[in-house]
Structure 1
């Protein structure tokens, strides 16, 4: 087994925060959050989302990163160690389930990421007059999936096999600023279009009469929880690459703030863009709710961009490139979970482990493509509504009840210096599991 002193690691706190934020910031932030907001009261959803993020998602993220940081090893060994001798096998099994979850996420996420990449290239093809190629790239087909899914798998593997510092940290430091610049540029452009102001008003002016609606609260809790990529071990693996003794609470707060900020500003892009599309004559809302998300992202917005001429096609390229980058940073983190396990517990080289995992993901993705109608939605539902919340519930149980050091978490007070350690320990031990069970029951059933 690899020793802590010989393990690869992040070389700076900023590198860790950017990598972890990249893991959290994905299609859920840039697409799912704004559409959830549009369907659930706009500003009212935003208010509730911010509240539940800091009540539930931030402590869950803290629990996952703390376990990894204390153990200084991969999620399987980290959970086994944290559970102590009595519950060692339970911790080990939970770690393996997390790896299965990471592989499930990669199997469908790489397919969706391939769609984003093909749509970005479709905009370029239309811009240079290759209309037939553009039509093929922007039209869903099994052949397109078979070609673009492996491209994305290889992109992720090429970064991960370079290591934590040389690969994940360096590429996160390049991709995250690029994502922010593209996002702000798109927001500036969209807000100048006719109809954007109406969308901005819906998003930023809350209707407080909706704040207490159960459906809105549950939607906001689910979105806040899942947007931080908690429950598959990626954050635990990343936490293990930071030296012990770091202020975990401050790092977790930085990641949560950056992730929430990206989700918020993504709403400044997507919701006004939908109203711009509606202003141009496209049907966006049916009976007060958005039409299917797939139609919105792959039909309505591309049609809107095409209607804007050459500049619109450049905007379309930037938009889908933005989504591709967000998907890539999330793919990297999920790939690292099984890779870290194979390196440390199975004595594989990083290169061999990375390409073995990527090969297995390729097989799983091709299987999903072959049986798309039957399996694609089912795999997503199993992961996001069952496996992720149950794994996070287990993290709270480990932190609060099974940890070999008990509930004496010496740096937990970093989360809030004005509250006692005992009160925060009580919050993680009792309140967070109860809140998480409420989310699980309402989202799953």
Structure 2
């Protein structure tokens, strides 16, 4: 079997891991939750809770991955003891299945982003964009297939030539696109009200149960936790790197992009409202929150005259890039298992596994009325939290504490004397599982 790949530098890892974390959940999901939960109050709570909950679990995944230097199944098994081996195998396989389930619906939505972007290009060329933006089975199949081909092609080329190469190219483009669109939207009539809502927290709402639960959920899911993606990326990190600092950098990047996304989408919503697009109903609830990107914002672009098609093209290019940087990490989870534990050559493994997940996407597309939301709920509201708890169990309760410390010391010799080591092991052992269990109970309440 060929030697395992490894990220060539700290920057390469940060961009790849940030790309995994920064996906549609940040650029689509975060602004929607901001708009539905009092603007700045949600932003404030989300930032605090990302470091209270998401960062500790992120560190659990990274340290397991780097210690084992293998796929998720063998990584969890490596930190286990004989009595916990069955649970270790279950956790590894379950994470791999969940990553595949998420990709199966994620690629469909990403395909819609690609089709809307191509529709904007068609409009710029004086052609009709109707087919590209109208819901249809044919459109969903074609553009999800296009998105799968892009994702598989990158993963098939391995860590250095695939994941690292394209993450380090796509992430800067993504950030530049967000900033350019923020500047343009900020100059439009109505944007000032969006900025006011976004940047002025109503602290009376900070402790509202619904807002806190939404902020906890966003903090957990936006970092790609609970499916093994960060564990796999951690396995490609050099032993000489300081993991606590790397994890904090990734969490900070994730927060930064989410906040930037809010600076784009929230003012854009109020620009749309200024231009006559209905955003909130009479009760003050966000209209069609799940379809905001495909209904409300295109309505805004239509009111911008000749510039609308250009802005739409750039916006959906941004969304497609964000989706791609996340999808490659999801596909990498089962592909790493197929190539390392099953001995299948990487390129073949990528196309076989990717094609298999695409086949399930087709099942979802043909049964979207009931299956789509069901798969989303099972994967994100049930599987991810439970697997996150299991990762905490293995790091906090099963893995021998001295071996955990020795692994962290490889890149940070003095970690034992830091505040991180004094707090994190106990925190991930007791506090994180309790918080995630609370989230899980609330989501089914």
Contact 2:416 2:422 in 1 (8 A): no
Residue 102 (1) aligns with residue 99 (2): yes
Q: Distance in 2 between matches of 1:181 and 1:55?
A: 29
Q: CA deviation at 1:407?
A: 7.7
Residue 54 (1) aligns with residue 51 (2): yes
Q: In the alignment, what sits opposite 1:206?
A: 201
Structure 1 unaligned residues grouped into runs of 5+: none
Residue 163 (1) aligns with residue 133 (2): no
Q: In the alignment, what sits opposite 1:28?
A: 25
Residue 262 (1) aligns with residue 264 (2): no
Q: How far does the alpha carbon of each residue in 1:130-153 deviate from its partner, in whole angstroms, 9 at most, with x for none?
A: 12xx01101010010111111100
Contact 2:191 2:271 in 1 (8 A): yes
Q: In the alignment, what sits opposite 1:371?
A: 367
Q: In the alignment, what sits opposite 1:352?
A: 348
Structure 2 unaligned residues grouped into runs of 5+: none
Q: CA deviation at 1:92?
A: 1.2
**Residue from 163, 171, 183 that aligns with 1:176:** 171
Say if 1:47 and 1:135 are closer, same or farther in 2 by CA, change over 3 A.
Answer: same
Q: Distance in 1 between matches of 2:135 and 2:117?
A: 14
Q: CA deviation at 1:415?
A: 8.3
**Residue from 300, 311, 315 that aligns with 1:315:** 311
Contact 1:123 1:313 in 2 (8 A): yes
Q: How far does the alpha carbon of each residue in 1:94-132 deviate from its partner, in whole angstroms, 9 at most, with x for none?
A: 10011110110111011000000000011111111112x
Q: Distance in 2 between matches of 1:16 and 1:154?
A: 23
**Residue from 115, 118, 133 that aligns with 1:138:** 133
Contact 1:81 1:88 in 2 (8 A): no
Cα RMSD (Å): 1.6
Q: How far does the alpha carbon of each residue in 1:32-68 deviate from its partner, in whole angstroms, 9 at most, with x for none?
A: 1011011101111111101110000000111011110
Residue 223 (1) aligns with residue 218 (2): yes
Say if 1:171 and 1:66 are closer, same or farther in 2 by CA, change over 3 A.
Answer: same
Q: In the alignment, what sits opposite 2:231?
A: 236
TM-score normalised over the length of structure 1:
0.96
Aligned residues: 440
Select between 41-50 and 241-250 the one with higher mean Cα deviation.
Answer: 241-250
Q: Distance in 1 between matches of 2:420 and 2:363?
A: 51
1:290-301 map, 5 Å:
290-301=286-297
Q: CA deviation at 1:417?
A: 6.4
What SS does the corresponding residue of 2:197 show, helix, strand or coil?
A: helix
Q: In the alignment, what sits opposite 1:69?
A: 66
Q: Distance in 2 between matches of 1:408 and 1:349?
A: 32
